Structure 1
């Protein structure tokens, strides 16, 4: 096991923290990594019989080609759904080499994993040594997501490179001031039951979450200097918390867009939150997955995404 800067003796387990993955469809294996949501069936392991596998499947298949002792299992920090993208996710993996073989260096591990995933829209950004007690999921201090919304067109009116990486919510402009006022009401520690599913999927998960950030800001298209975006209005909705309920971010996004459209007032959104009732917002609607990005996962003493930004 790696402790601090000491290397493990041959044949021992080397725990490396592997940060992910490739960006989105319109960037080919670049230095800024995420996974492309449309290219995988979510992050978590899926049955091998499925036509499209999960990101974890591809990571573990690549790791097995390095011929470790036993199965190299990845423990991923954040479980994104199919169609959701990640600018920077993280995972940890224990890789044990055969006796007499030195541990992989971080650089070699990154290059080898990426080589074996070169046909996939997944890329490992970096790997760092972590203590034996480190767990990518449970040691995370916060997770930050942002959701890209655009108005002024429908799906087919979007520039082709924007499709499936933002949500064309409506053809009229949104009231950003009202949306931010409503977003401010979500900040803090609340029971977010109103933004979870009506079925029993969250029975054993506490709905009490602390939202550190909820922000609505005007944004821009991916390449405004190269493409005439006409009268399109882009918004980024950013949410930060230690953890979220399943599809909570996409449900909050849908509610905030309803505020921007004038279908809800900020006070009505607060009443929905306080109701703790998933049916309080009729239909319990969810924004599409394509506009959602996991931006970063933060840790206490080490930050695997440090130095990797959107610019």
Structure 2
């Protein structure tokens, strides 16, 4: 009996104390990445093979996720069969119990599946709380989970007008931060949707006062480094009257990271990765697929 399998896992985390989703630098022993802890948990299952986790979406330091994903191979000793999906989730969560990281589901996938390259879209939500000049005015359930602003109101109409300029296929060079792999990353991305809707505090029904909260939702197949935080910062600046809609358009059309106004990017704590989408057929093993579900050679 085959004793190894490839798994896709979905996981959530509060990113406050982690250096991001990916592994932390080797010299950084205190603040590790979420991947470090996930790989430690997998090693505790005593696989025969070296553990390598491939994460679909590399969130930054302080950014959270309600649904990130990753794949890995696991070979068990001797003739032990692969873990069932439910047992794998329970076992990994047992070893992660001291961390703010939890596995939400697992899928046994085909040998050629890749968590990053098979992802069809990623959805991020950014939470903005109004009328809270200092973070201590937030309920504890929202502490480090939103961007608190002094403003009691935002011009949401102008923000939506500006957001419409970002939707579609553009060179988003102005909205990416400088990184070591800039030269190898194509700045042209297709932003499928930007929605700006009222949100609420996690404790809105019980807190002593109501806190106005807005959620900015972004969906695309992929994003550039810090693109969502930069877009959020620019849209909030439009809502505050610090940036006009034509000025935001000029920033986009400049296609230059230096065209983005300094200090405008939104902080990391309000950002959540909420969804990574895959085709249903990619989450099934070949023997689980009916003839009707099998992909054809023609487009």
Structure 1 length normalisation: TM-score? 0.86
The answer as to 2:101 corresponding to 1:115 is no
Which residue of 235, 246, 253 corresponds with 1:267? 246
Name the residue aligned to 2:185: 205
Name the residue aligned to 1:289: 268
Question: 1: distance between equivalents of 2:74 and 2:183?
Answer: 35
Backbone CA RMSD of aligned residues: 1.7
Give 1:303 shift: 8.4
Name the residue aligned to 1:183: 163
- Could you list the runs of 5+ residues in structure 2 that have no partner in the other structure? 284-299
Question: 2: distance between equivalents of 1:51 and 1:273?
Answer: 38
Name the residue aligned to 2:5: 14
**Greater fraction helix:** 2
The answer as to 2:267 corresponding to 1:276 is no
Alignment of 1:1-311 (within 5 A): 9-11=1-3, 13-20=4-11, 34-46=12-24, 47=26, 49-154=28-133, 155-198=135-178, 201-230=181-210, 232-283=211-262, 285-301=264-280
Give the conservation status (yes or no) of the 8 Å contact 1:43–1:56.
yes
Number of aligned positions between the proteins: 281
Give 1:161 shift: 2.3
Question: 1: distance between equivalents of 2:142 and 2:212?
Answer: 13
C-alpha change, 1:300 and 1:199, in structure 2 (3 Å) is closer
Give 1:267 shift: 2.0
Give the conservation status (yes or no) of the 8 Å contact 2:23–2:34.
yes
Give 1:281 shift: 3.2
Of 83-92 and 63-72, deviating more is 63-72
Question: 2: distance between equivalents of 1:278 and 1:229?
Answer: 40
1:260-290 C-alpha deviation (Å, 9 max, x unpaired): 0011122221111011122223216321100
Give 1:228 shift: 2.9
C-alpha change, 1:41 and 1:219, in structure 2 (3 Å) is same
Question: 2: distance between equivalents of 1:56 and 1:130?
Answer: 20
C-alpha change, 1:198 and 1:19, in structure 2 (3 Å) is closer
Give 1:302 shift: 5.4
Question: 1: distance between equivalents of 2:146 and 2:234?
Answer: 16
Name the residue aligned to 1:23: none
Structure 2 length normalisation: TM-score? 0.89
Give 1:56 shift: 0.8
The 4+ residue runs of structure 1 with deviation greater than 4 A are 198-201
Give 1:218 shift: 1.3
Question: 1: distance between equivalents of 2:80 and 2:178?
Answer: 52
Give the conservation status (yes or no) of the 8 Å contact 1:250–1:289.
yes
Question: 1: distance between equivalents of 2:112 and 2:282?
Answer: 16
1:92-120 C-alpha deviation (Å, 9 max, x unpaired): 11001122111111111111111111111
